[in-house]
Amino acid sequence: GAGVSQSPRYKVAKRGQDVALRCDPISGHVSLFWYQQALGQGPEFLTYFQNEAQLDKSGLPSDRFFAERPEGSVSTLKIQRTQQEDSAVYLCASSRGGVRLAPLHFGNGTRLTVT
């Protein structure tokens, strides 16, 4: 299908390892978002891109979290020196953006487990 694709679907990392999570947004979508969802909670905003520009990174919990979208399409969320509290589902969403704002389309997420 033509939805938002995230990989890997599941990731297990030992504490202290670095991980990289990939998001392929819907083709042509200008806006891209990353969210973090802890078990039993609603998604929490991490960061937002408009094309390749990272316009809001206010939700990133620490400087161990880094996101990029170098060509304005695929995005990668990197977590350095993972900690157990980083265990969560990481969701990516994209939208057309624009004045009449289109809804966000979410991927099915990457479940990260830090052991």
Partner 1 sequence: DAKTTQPTSMDCAEGRAANLPCNHSTISGNEYVYWYRQIHSQGPQYIIHGLKNNETNEMASLIITEDRKSSTLILPHATLRDTAVYYCIVRINTGTASKLTFGTGTRLQVTL
Residue 95 binds to partner 1 (criterion: CB under 8 A)? yes
Residue pair 46/109 in contact (Cβ under 8 Å)? The answer is no
- Tell me which residue of 78, 65, 99, 77 sits closest to 32, measured CA to CA: 77
What is the C-alpha to C-alpha distance for residues 51 and 56, in angstroms, rounded to an integer? 12
Cβ-in-10-Å burial (0-12, 13-18, 19+) of 106 comes to middle
A 10 A CB-CB count for 22 gives 15
Nearer to partner 1, 59 or 83 (CB): 59
Residue 44 binds to partner 1 (criterion: CB under 8 A)? yes
Residue 42 binds to partner 1 (criterion: CB under 8 A)? yes
- To partner 1, the closest distance from the beta carbon of 37 in angstroms equals 8
Start-to-end CA distance of the chain, whole Å, equals 33
Q: Choose the stretch contacting partner 1; rule: CB under 8 A; options: 12-20, 64-72, 73-81, 89-97.
A: 89-97
- To partner 1, the closest distance from the beta carbon of 38 in angstroms equals 11
Residue 56 binds to partner 1 (criterion: CB under 8 A)? yes
- Rule CB under 8 A: choose which of 24, 45, 54, 87 binds partner 1: 45
Binding site for partner 1 (CB under 8 A): 4, 31, 33, 35, 40-45, 48, 50, 55-56, 91, 93, 95, 97-101, 103-109
